[in-house]
Amino acid sequence: MLSRLVFIPASALKSSGSMGAGLVQASRCLHISPQNQAPVPPLPEKSGKVRHGIIPEEFFQFLYPKTGVTGPYVLGTGLLLYLLSKEIYVVNHETVAAASVGAVLIYAVKKFGPGIATFADKLNDEKAAKVQEVKDTAVNSLTQAIEAEKKEQWRVEGRQMLFDAKRNNVAMILETNYRERLHMVTNEVKKRLEYQVQLQNLHHRMEQEYMVDWVEKNVVKSITPQQEKESIAKCIADLKALAKTTQAKVSL
Amino acid sequence: FFDQFSLTTFMGIPLIALALTLPWILFPTPQNRCLNNRLSTLQAWFIRQFTHQLFLPINQGGHKWALLLASLLIFLITLNLLGILPYTFTPTTQLSMNMGLAIPLWLATVLIGARYQPNHTLAHLLPVGTPGLLIPILIMIETISLFIRPIALGVRLTANLTAGHLLIQLISTAAFHLLFIMPSVSLLTTTLLLLLTILELAVAIIQAYVFVLLVSLYLQDS
């Protein structure tokens, strides 16, 4: 009787509907040794269903096949009446005390029960959310890492193109260099050739001049003095004639 | 009427042994899961809140007392709350038990303070800033108050619980007998209900108990 009193208040005290789980917890602690059940079976999310806040639903189910729906109620009423009539349970002042205690407790449970239940659920949900957040963050960072990796791979391909372009560049520069040098070589060669040409021209000219000089010298040498006098006299006569014509032109 | 206060040996086992050991069934042990069922979560949350609040002022080697004080709280709360139900026996109504809790704990705080910091402990006997003339008298008073502490702790707990239970008994008897002389009953039962609600401040008594213990601990700066 005393132990039953202990159990029932346990549920009444903290019965946000969680009595079933509480009791199961209590008994489970005694039977488990860690080596036997290495993957721990999950706790039931919702507590065992209770009817009227105290009596578990299984009791009703247990009696259902034999006695139908009204079975447990009849049992309860009959038991109560039996106890009362036979004075096995004497109604005395304690009953009044029990009634008031019961009233206060039921009032408290009805009023604060759901609030406390939501609070406990909120605590649990916060924990779950935290862990979930960790997981989500991990997943996010990993996805980002994957994307970055893909981008890097694309960049590597791009890099090939970059190398090609650079290679082309270098080839062009080499080509340009080569052409320049070719150009330079041509110029130098042309200069050399021109030099030779000039040299030859010079030779020609000098020969010509030397020849002309030689011819002139010979001619001058060959002019005898006789011829010289004749030519001078002729020149004077020409000059006089010219002077006359000029004078005539001037007087006109 | 005083039956419930005698230390009965019912069915050969002293009832007090049963009453002291059985309440532990009610509290599930924490399961080391991330998410527990509601009861475990609430319980764990409550214990953590309480311990945190209790040890904010101390913040030193006094944290060794955490387990003791928290379990003391749970113990006393359970005993008192269960005692409110009819036909139960509340061990804390026995002066012997309460003094058995009070004196060793108080003595422990005093001895710890006296051993590790004797100067500091003696300094506590005299509040600061008293005028010179009053010093001898004040030392006497402080010493007396120091020694009265365990008695106060134990007797406070016992007296409050006993008085509460007794009142409930008397009023419920009166209500019961007046049930057959109708009118006064309703008033009496209402009063009874109110008293009950207040008695559920048996919890507060426990807080007071542990708090006073804490205060002495804190003062001794263990």
Give domain limits for chain B: 3-221
Q: Which of A11, A101, A127 is the best residue to mutate to test the B interface, defined by the most B CB atoms within 10 Å of its own CB?
A: A101
Model pLDDT, residue B6: 46
Q: Does B196 touch chain A (CB under 8 A)?
A: yes
Report, as ranges of residue numbers, the positions in chain B whose pLDDT lies below 50: 1-2, 4-13
Q: Do the Cβ atoms of B39 and A25 come within 8 Å?
A: yes
Q: How far apart are CA B16 and CA B94, in angstroms?
A: 10
Q: From first to last of the 252 residues of chain A, give the pLDDT tens digit.
A: 444 444 444 444 444 444 444 444 444 444 444 454 555 566 665 565 666 666 666 667 777 666 777 777 777 788 888 887 877 777 777 777 888 888 888 888 888 878 877 777 777 788 788 888 989 999 999 999 999 999 998 888 888 888 999 999 999 999 999 999 999 999 999 999 999 999 999 999 999 999 999 999 988 888 777 788 888 899 999 999 999 998 888 887
Nearest alpha-carbon partner for A123 in B42, B90, B107: B42
For residue B35, give the DSSP letter. Answer: S
Q: Which pLDDT does position A14 carry in this prediction?
A: 44
Alpha helices by DSSP H, chain B? 15-21, 38-55, 66-83, 95-116, 118-123, 135-178, 184-199, 202-220
Written as six digits, the tokens of B41 are 């979560």
List the single residue in A7, A22, A103 with the smallest CB-CB distance to B39.
A22
Find, among B198, B194, B125, B112, the residue nearest to B161 by Cα. B198
8 Å CB contact between B196 and A101: yes
- Look at residue A58 in the predicted model and tell me its pLDDT: 67
Q: What is the pLDDT of residue B194?
A: 85
Among candidates A29, A44, A116 on the partner chain, residue whose Cβ is nearest the Cβ of B28: A29
| Chain B contact present for A63, CB below 8 A | no
User: What pTM, to 2 d.p., does this model score?
Assistant: 0.59
Q: How far off is chain A from B149, nearest CA to CA, in Å?
A: 33
Tell me whether residues B37 and A127 touch, CB distance under 8 A: no
Q: Does the beta-carbon distance from B176 to A96 stay under 8 Å? A: yes
- Of the candidates B210, B206, B208, B207, the one whose C-alpha atom is nearest the C-alpha of residue B90 is B206
Q: Give the one of B25, B41, B196 whose C-beta lies nearest to A104's C-beta.
A: B196
Determine what percent of chain A falls in helix, strand and coil, rounding each to the nearest 5. Answer: 85, 0, 15
At residue B130, the pLDDT reads: 66
Gap from A166 CA to chain B (nearest CA, Å): 59
Predicted-complex ipTM score:
0.71
Q: What is the pLDDT of residue A172?
A: 95
- Interchain contact B23–A (C-beta under 8 A): yes
Task: Report which residue type is found at A108.
Answer: A
Residues of chain B contacting A101 with CB distance shorter than 8 Å: 84-86, 196
Q: Say if residues A22 and B27 touch (Cβ distance below 8 Å).
A: no
| B202 interface with A at CB cutoff 8 Å | no
Sign of the C-alpha dihedral computed for residues B163, B165, B167 and B170 taken in this order: negative
pLDDT recorded at residue A17: 42
